A = this chain, B = another copy of it.
Amino acid sequence: MDIATGGPLISIINFKDAEELDLHSGDRVRLNCGRKKAIAIVDFAESKKALPRGKIGLFEELIKKLNVKNNDKISLKLVEKPKSIRYIRKTLDGEKLNPKEIRIIIEDIVNNRLSEAELAYFVAASYTHIMSINETVALTKAMINTGDVLKLKCRNVIDKHCIGGVAGNRTTMIIMPIIAAAGLIIPKTSSRSITSPAGTADTMEVLTNVSHSLEDIKKIIKKTNGCLVWGGSLNLAPADDKIIKVEHPLNLDARSQLLASILAKKASVSAKHVLVDIPVGKGAKIHSKKRALILKKQFELIGKKLGMQIYVVITNGSEPVGKGLGPVLEARDVLYVLKGDKRMPVDLKKKSIRLAGIMLEMGKKAKKGEGVKLAREILESGKAYDKFIEIIKAQGGKEISPDKLKLAKFKRNIKAEKRGKVMHIDNATIAKVARIAGAPADKEAGIYLYVRKNMQVKKGEVLFTIYSNSKAKLKFAVNTFKEIGGVVIKS
């Protein structure tokens, strides 16, 4: 069967055969074909047409693993369920797990030995019975140890992470070169967008190649002190992606998994110091300051147990940061800031300097209280821009002027319907409109904001421009904005 879902290995047999063999849906069987072996989960075909008796259907990964051809003979034998099932049941019963048990669960997740339902039970268990600090530490270690690691021998490795949910907010691309220019090592891996108009990796990709092997990354860092690559093509703490996939349908995020997955990704690139940015606000991922403070405390505690210095900064996440939303528009904002172009979004520069300042202090490049000054100096002197171009080139790109960046063919201005004060620009709504316009798959699509919170606008003044390479999508984006709003003006 030509199906490959990237999940567990699945074989399908006729339900009458299953009955005779006393197999249940979800049971494991060992398949033998010649000398090749594989363990797979059984599912049933309910009709003869789908699968006649005596036949077995194999998903693509299994065909490959068993090196099997049509009409080859396959023998099968019931095997025990993976041990992790017992431990998942244990957590669901509210019992604590020891590090070995957690390790076995994570190994089975990474090796696709669990079905979707079994994985969902694990997520549900860690969601309803919040894991203890020790369990979360064990979870983090298990996530690190089941993936690849970027080994950097120096102690000066620093990294940052943002919990997300704020539109724009492309600080990483500005902070990274400031930190690298100051002499610290910053092996930055970023994700692509899931629900936003652009992820850092999508935006960086406008300017250079972001898919690199761990070997290449090592070389780039050796040469430049930094990098900014897509983490998705690496195998760092891979359990995380599989857990996220099963959390998606319910929009769950189990706190212990959030903590563990972030710290595991950072530890996997040898980071000793990590700045965590938690934006708090209505449209952001974390809505309440209270929840942010709990997270902060736990980050610090767990970091300590892992031998990492974690500094958590809680920032305002209620409005977009920067003017552009969408890969090209955000890349342009970043270049404006790095080049000191007066068209830059001032809020993006300010936030980047603030965070870079803290990191310079963490990495002992500046005395306490003097980080922001140093960060500004590195940025405004052009050193950060030079470092950025050096890294862009090391990753296979070349210098490009922000004015040469091509935007999408079609655009529409959205104007204020009355005069008044901008009270709120909603992250989630504005991100949705930008995505409908085509971002991030269409890198040139997105939104460019002209107004900010607290600005006075006249009736008919342009609030923002929507860009798209598809007339249909542009129209749909405009209509969606008209329907759901997202910019609140009070006269």
Whether A250 is near chain B, meaning CB under 8 Å from some CB there, is yes
Give the chain B neighbours of A120 by CB distance below 8 A: 116-118, 120-121, 124
Whether A273 is near chain B, meaning CB under 8 Å from some CB there, is no
Whether A315 is near chain B, meaning CB under 8 Å from some CB there, is no
Question: Are A250 and B5 in contact (CB-based, < 8 A)?
Answer: no
Whether A115 is near chain B, meaning CB under 8 Å from some CB there, is yes
Give CA–CA (A26, B249) in the complex, Å: 6
- Mark each residue of chain A from 130 to 146: 1 if its CB lies under 8 Å from any CB of chain B, else 0: 00000000000000000
Whether A4 is near chain B, meaning CB under 8 Å from some CB there, is yes
CB within 8 Å for A44 and B252 given contacts A119-B117, A125-B128: no
Min CB distance A48 to B, Å, is 10
- Mark each residue of chain A from 1 to 35: 1 if its CB lies under 8 Å from any CB of chain B, else 0: 11111100000100000011010111000000000
Whether A248 is near chain B, meaning CB under 8 Å from some CB there, is yes
- Mark each residue of chain A from 222 to 250: 1 if its CB lies under 8 Å from any CB of chain B, else 0: 00000000000000000000000110111
Question: Are A441 and B22 in contact (CB-based, < 8 A)?
Answer: yes
Q: Most chain-B CB neighbours within 10 Å: which of A3, A25, A46, A119?
A: A3
For A252, give its contact among B89, B94, B441 (CB under 8 Å): B89
Min CB distance A349 to B, Å, is 31
Give the chain B neighbours of A214 by CB distance below 8 A: none
Counting every copy of the chain, the complex holds: 2
Give the chain B neighbours of A426 by CB distance below 8 A: none
Whether A129 is near chain B, meaning CB under 8 Å from some CB there, is yes
Give CA–CA (A49, B63) in the complex, Å: 13
- Mark each residue of chain A from 265 to 277: 1 if its CB lies under 8 Å from any CB of chain B, else 0: 0000000000000
For A128, give its contact among B6, B128, B252 (CB under 8 Å): B128
Give the chain B neighbours of A26 by CB distance below 8 A: 248-249
Min CB distance A439 to B, Å, is 10
Give the chain B neighbours of A24 by CB distance below 8 A: 194, 248
Give CA–CA (A6, B50) in the complex, Å: 11
Give the chain B neighbours of A248 by CB distance below 8 A: 24-26
For A25, give its contact among B47, B88, B245 (CB under 8 Å): B245
Whether A344 is near chain B, meaning CB under 8 Å from some CB there, is no
Question: Are A5 and B1 in contact (CB-based, < 8 A)?
Answer: no
Whether A435 is near chain B, meaning CB under 8 Å from some CB there, is yes
Question: Are A47 and B4 in contact (CB-based, < 8 A)?
Answer: yes
Question: Are A2 and B49 in contact (CB-based, < 8 A)?
Answer: yes
Give CA–CA (A124, B4) in the complex, Å: 28
Question: Are B117 and A4 in contact (CB-based, < 8 A)?
Answer: no
Cβ < 8 Å to B, chain A residues 405-426: none
Give the chain B neighbours of A252 by CB distance below 8 A: 89, 92, 121
For A129, give its contact among B85, B128, B441 (CB under 8 Å): B128
Question: Are B118 and A249 in contact (CB-based, < 8 A)?
Answer: yes
Whether A366 is near chain B, meaning CB under 8 Å from some CB there, is no
Whether A127 is near chain B, meaning CB under 8 Å from some CB there, is yes
Whether A462 is near chain B, meaning CB under 8 Å from some CB there, is no
Question: Are A43 and B249 in contact (CB-based, < 8 A)?
Answer: no
Question: Are A43 and B5 in contact (CB-based, < 8 A)?
Answer: yes
Min CB distance A21 to B, Å, is 9
Question: Are B246 and A117 in contact (CB-based, < 8 A)?
Answer: yes
Give the chain B neighbours of A441 by CB distance below 8 A: 19-20, 22
Give the chain B neighbours of A88 by CB distance below 8 A: 250
Whether A60 is near chain B, meaning CB under 8 Å from some CB there, is yes
Whether A373 is near chain B, meaning CB under 8 Å from some CB there, is no
Give CA–CA (A45, B1) in the complex, Å: 12
23 pairs, CB–CB < 8 Å, chain A vs chain B: A1-B1, A1-B3, A3-B3, A3-B50, A3-B57, A4-B45, A4-B50, A5-B12, A5-B43, A25-B248, A45-B60, A47-B60, A50-B60, A85-B249, A92-B124, A92-B128, A92-B252, A115-B249, A116-B117, A117-B120, A117-B246, A121-B249, A124-B124
- Give 4 closest A-B pairs by Cβ, nearest first: A124-B124, A120-B120, A117-B120, A26-B249
